[in-house]
Amino acid sequence: RKEVEQDPGPFNVPEGATVAFNCTYSNSASQSFFWYRQDCRKEPKLLMSVYSSGNEDGRFTAQLNRASQYISLLIRDSKLSDSATYLCVVNRRGGADGLTFGKGTHLIIQP
């Protein structure tokens, strides 16, 4: 079983719609969780950290369910510029360890 699993998509979504991505991780000892965004042929950029209490940053909301080892990302009022690959990322031992990336979910926002 892969450490971090995501639906690769692509998700084709009309502009203005709400879209949700999910991710599961296998290592119950994982300590930190993130969503990154990667544009074509570019490095990943941190979108937001994910906390058990849930957190929101503008149009983006992230949730973590430790019991189910499940992470979600919700994007409201999607913009054309949201088109990218969204990477679910887990850090096994806090900051001391490298990051484990999912393969990403490809999102295409259509005008």
- Residues at the interface with another protein (CB under 8 A): 4, 32, 41-46, 87, 91, 94-104
Handedness of CA 22, 25, 31, 36 (dihedral sign): negative
Least distance from C-beta 53 to another protein, angstroms? 17
Least distance from C-beta 82 to another protein, angstroms? 20
Q: DSSP state, 90?
A: E
Least distance from C-beta 103 to another protein, angstroms? 4
Considering the complex, state which of residue 46 and residue 80 has its C-beta at the smaller distance from another protein: 46
Q: Looking at the chain, which runs of residues are DSSP E strands?
A: 4-6, 11-14, 19-25, 32-38, 44-50, 55-57, 60-65, 70-75, 84-95, 99-101, 105-110
Considering the complex, state which of residue 78 and residue 89 has its C-beta at the smaller distance from another protein: 89
Considering the complex, state which of residue 76 and residue 92 has its C-beta at the smaller distance from another protein: 92
Considering the complex, state which of residue 5 and residue 72 has its C-beta at the smaller distance from another protein: 5
Report the b/e string of 12-32 with b at 16+ CB within 10 A. ebeeeeebebebbbeeeebeb
Least distance from C-beta 31 to another protein, angstroms? 9
